[in-house]
Structure 1
Amino acid sequence: MHLDFVKFTASRLICSRLEFQSRKKGLAIWCQGWFEFNSDLSGGSGDQIHAGDFKVLSHLKGLGCGDLVCKPKAIHFRGCTNESYQFKCTERSYFVKVNRSFKASEMFAGEFEGLQKLHLTQAIRAPQPLGFGDLPDCGSYIIMEHLQFRPFGMMQKKSQEALGRSLAVLHQYDVGDLFGFSLDTRLGVMPLENRWASSWAEFFLESRLKDRLKRVHVALGETVTELQSKEGMLLKRVEGILGSYTCKPCLLHGDLWMGNTGLTSEGEVAMFDPATFIGDAEFDLAFQEWAPVPGFPGFSDAFYDSYHAVLPRAPGFLDRRKVYQLFHLLNHLLIYGLEYYKHVLAMVDSLLLD
């Protein structure tokens, strides 16, 4: 049996015919090009290639990538659900994320739109998104500019100060009068509903807090009966906190913590992996003093002091931060499991006692 597919050569894309043998997890190819695969098809340690890989290569060629300088480099991130690769080409380097486990088109479409919005503001460095698409053998991919980061660059005080100032500039960018986003997105693997609303309280309660509470009840059922018993009081309390609060709609990163930032080799602070939407600027500060994970790599006071030197805290900031942290705790409960339940209950109790 033969398979026609596209592979890179030194100067152009050519069609090749390579023998293959199908396997349960995809296609194991006897490859002679820059992909190096073990030809042992007996279930050993041979690398695998999927039909979708050639969809990505074709997309890169359409972007004018030039010649491939070396074999694509796999980049590993702890806890990441995606495969990540650097493609170093003569014209530029590309960063490609692939998810084969589920139809991730919504996730990557949202990431593309979020990165595009962040990139266009020029308030802060963000990878330029270049394309996304579905794979023929299940899953999706996204292609973006590759940024080279300095190791431990964001641990420096001056880097965090620069990030704080840049974030404050981003939050002053004019995005109109509504809260929401142009399409639904994801935070990690969890869907985010982004229906437009004229009120921040309405948007957060309906599209964030109530949505997460409903998902928790469906996923965990009787395990979270204590949370269910307090839900009515909690929603009333949050409505009171946000209902009297007026804020300007701001373009947000949406999942801002140390692991989603970096210092480029050119010395610019940058952010990536967004869950972008238009909301309250303070939502991007929610991970300050994040207690559930000991040793969590949060930002130092230098970041927050630098930010608030441009945009000072508004009255009621600490209560709103608890509300936004509760949302993230519920999201972590859905993704990582019951170890977060005690932290959810503790935050609910803290809000109800205030």
Structure 2
Amino acid sequence: MKEFAGDTGLVAWHRLDLREPMRLLHLSRSRLTQDLEALAAQNLLQIAGPFKHRGILLSDPKRRLRFDTNILTQRRIEATVKLRQMQRYCELASCRRHFILDYFGESHASPRCENCDNCGIVWQTSAEATLLAQKILSCVVRMQERFGAKAVAEVLKGSSTERSRSFAGLSTFGLLRDLPLKQIEKDIQRLIAASYLARSDGEYPVLQVTPKGWEVLRGQRQAALPAPADERQHATSPRKIKGGTLLQTLQLLRQGLSITEVAQARALEESTIWGHAKELALDGKIENLDDIISPQEVAEISRFLSKTESFDRATISAHLPRHHPSKVFFVRAILQARQRGVKI
């Protein structure tokens, strides 16, 4: 607080740093400025201009500002409920149109609209998908269902954050270290969409295992997970490769040419051909990956990926000089797909 002589004598100014109220109130600078101007319009405060005594002056220091905390609390609860509804809509695995109709109290004749993205979901049921679900569900339970998706993903990744290190003693710590953190978060969302996990209510929701999720965790049922969005697109709209560049690469690979030989034959960069190979493999067009890359190479690259949380082409060249960087990205994509239950 600073005192200086104003038009009405010695007055007390509260020097204002907008960053602090912006942080506490979760407001943007423009919104906070608008709110301050609204209070100034009601003669509750005065805002000094951009000079050395910049700050806020209460028009009447003896006048107490009265706030109805009950109204403010109720508004916050209502806003939180709306936020959770929007979050559920985003994480939904059932028909989105029906969710909207139910929200507005309208009826619908059929269980599916067959037009939204969720009505085209491909559900994956496999031993790999079940194992992935069990790993995530187990981590949620071992963390006592007291944390959100971000914290659970960091523990599964084995991240080096202070919060994650406090769970280093858990058997699930680093259980999915081969996957990128964002991929683990997406897989957690898939479990929420499949109703194996649920978010608690309240201002700070945490993950909780549902009765359906407990059945998967105990091995009483297989997990059925919605396919990731990119694979869902492949399933609902198969890539047409007839006569295209992917088909040309596929034909040469089926003739027994290596990736390097295909690149030379087509006068393309080797990285481009590895990109073709990844798309063809994920589309199920390559029957045997051993024809492209040997199991020994996959094992060597897998060991590198398990020890390296993030990397770029320079890192790959330094640690795996025998392998083309695009080959490493190819192996990572295949391993991630297998973790999600895709049979490749």
Q: Same fold (TM over 0.5)?
A: no
TM range (shorter): under 0.3
Higher share of residues assigned strand: 1
Who wins on radius of gyration, i.e. which is larger? 2
Structure (1/2) with the larger helix percentage: 2
TM-score by length of 1: 0.25
